[in-house]
Amino acid sequence: LEKSLLMIPGPTPVPDEVLRELARPMINHRSSEYVALQSELVDGLRQAFQTTGDVQVFPASGTGGLEAAVVNVLSPGDRVVAAPVGAFGDRFAEIAEVFGASVRRIETRWGSCVTPEVVASVLEDEPEARALLLTQNETSTGVLNDIQQLAASARAVRPDILILVDAISGMLAADLPVDQWELDVVVAGSQKAWMVPPGLTLVSISARAWEAHATARMPRFYFDFGRMRKSMATGQTPYTPALPQLFALRAALRLIQREGLAACFARHDRLARATRAGVEAMGMRLFADRGCVSPAVTAVVPPLHLSAPELRRHVNHRHGVVLAGGQGRYQDQIFRIGHLGYVSEAEVIATLAALERGLLELGGQVTLGSAVAAAQAELLRPSGAASRSAGAGAEATRG
């Protein structure tokens, strides 16, 4: 019997009621039925992004949304400051370069987050910068940036700078009130905390971003926000929408609404705390600095005598728990546990139990039950200060 537990940071598990939507018969996308579907999606997405502005959906993986963010508000030759803290931040900067931006990268050690002071001082030094590229949750290193502080420090120096945020793995795992924090283009991806299969990218667009769009000259067609806005005004899309994915998104948004945003953030925080407690109880080290650990994914440094790929292979084949490898230069140095989206406390406990046995079977020194006990103790604790501040934005916009 083979049953496996998918504990990677995307694609994430999909609830049955969302999966079933993928088997729905197709509808005419130029019909009133579609208009109603799109209207419900836009409402749900606005709530999730905590914005009254525009949110658009494109059939693409998250990277398509990052490309859309860049090409819709910038022109070739524009100066851009990028603050990558891992592989996905590097990708965001590279997209801007490929389309002709002149990119200044703020170098940050992998495993740490970027600080508001550094962003402010680089922007002081870059009077021509049109845009700042940020990553909310860096999936490759398990790091959460403090977007609120980063955006505030950027605005203090350059009030009109465009702030583009890769929130693909962070949105719904941590608070990100788009309007309140004055974020111009924010990109999400269906296969992360949204509990929807891969294939949709969700993008919010501020008034400032629309202003920039009017004069932005980077080449674009399929991802053009203007074409999409024009068509959406009539309840349609300019090109055939990915109907099964949209049916699935509607079902997932209903689940998210029922739970509430603040509860959703708190759930991610709890699972992340339990995972970290378990990992450390087994004597393994977290890859991310203590002050910026991710609520969505935990990156782990394996014990000295073991390689990360070996441990992952063992836990996968022997115990049916699928973990992710590292990325880029840390591909074989770390492994990552995804705990975002449709993941339960019981699944986190099962994952830690599989790791305990895996480590023991591979010759490590682990007391069986130690990680599970540490995680259980963490789950019994009330939510901490971190989760209390998260959700403040959600409360504010809901009223």
Ligand X SMILES: *Cc1c(COP(=O)(O)O)cnc(C)c1O
220-227: long-range contacts (C-beta < 8 A, 24 or more apart)?
220/68, 220/71, 220/72, 222/58, 223/58, 223/60, 223/64, 223/67, 223/68, 223/71, 223/72, 224/72, 225/54, 225/56, 225/68, 225/72, 226/72
Which residue type, as a one-letter code, is found at position 114?
Answer: V
Give min distance, CB of 335 to ligand X, in A.
16
Q: Which is nearer to ligand X, 27 or 98 (CB)?
A: 98
Per the omega criterion (within 30 degrees of 0), is the bond before 197 cis?
Answer: no
58, 65 in Cβ contact below 8 A?
yes
Give min distance, CB of 356 to ligand X, in A.
27
Q: Which is nearer to ligand X, 94 or 310 (CB)?
A: 94
Give min distance, CB of 189 to ligand X, in A.
5
Q: Which is nearer to ligand X, 51 or 61 (CB)?
A: 61
Q: Which is nearer to ligand X, 133 or 209 (CB)?
A: 133
Q: Which is nearer to ligand X, 63 or 397 (CB)?
A: 63
Q: Which is nearer to ligand X, 188 or 218 (CB)?
A: 188
The two tokens of residue 41 are 């999606």
Which residue type, as a one-letter code, is found at position 274?
Answer: A
First CA to last CA distance, the chain: 49
Taking Cα atoms as reference points, which of 349, 381, 355 lies closest to residue 367? Answer: 355
Q: Which is nearer to ligand X, 169 or 314 (CB)?
A: 169
Q: Which residues bind ligand X (CB under 6 A)?
A: 10, 61-63, 88, 135, 137, 139, 166, 168-169, 189
The two tokens of residue 208 are 């400032």
Question: With DSSP H G I counted as helix, E B as strand and the rest as coil, what are the percentages for the chain, rounded to 5?
Answer: 45, 15, 40
324, 9 in Cβ contact below 8 A?
yes
Give min distance, CB of 169 to ligand X, in A.
3
Give min distance, CB of 304 to ligand X, in A.
29
The two tokens of residue 178 are 């788009």
